[in-house]
Structure 1
C-alpha cells in the first residue's frame, strides 16, 4: 500500500502538469520544489521510512 507522502507526490505531479498559463508558473515552480523535497532522503528519514 502506498504511503501518504507517495500519494501526495503523485497528486502534486498530476496537478503541476496542468499548470500551463504564464500566471501559473510561480505556483508550478513552488510545487516542483516541494516534489524535490518529498523525494529527498532527508524527508524520508524524518518520516522514519529510511535509514542513513
Structure 2
C-alpha cells in the first residue's frame, strides 16, 4: 500500500542554511514553486511570488 502525503505546507526540502526558514507547498503529488516564511500564520495570504 502506498502512503499518500496530503497537500499542504511543509518544511522546504530545498531550504538554504544561510536564509530564514521557509515552507514549500506540496500539492499532493509534487513540490510546487510556492514558498513562504515558516513563521507565517496558517490561513494567511501567500507572499508575493508564491505562484505555481
TM-score range with shorter-chain normalisation?
under 0.3
- Which structure: larger Rg? 1
Q: Kindly indicate which of the two structures has a greater share of residues assigned to strand.
A: 2
TM-score by length of 2: 0.27
Using the size of structure 1 for normalisation, the TM-score is 0.27
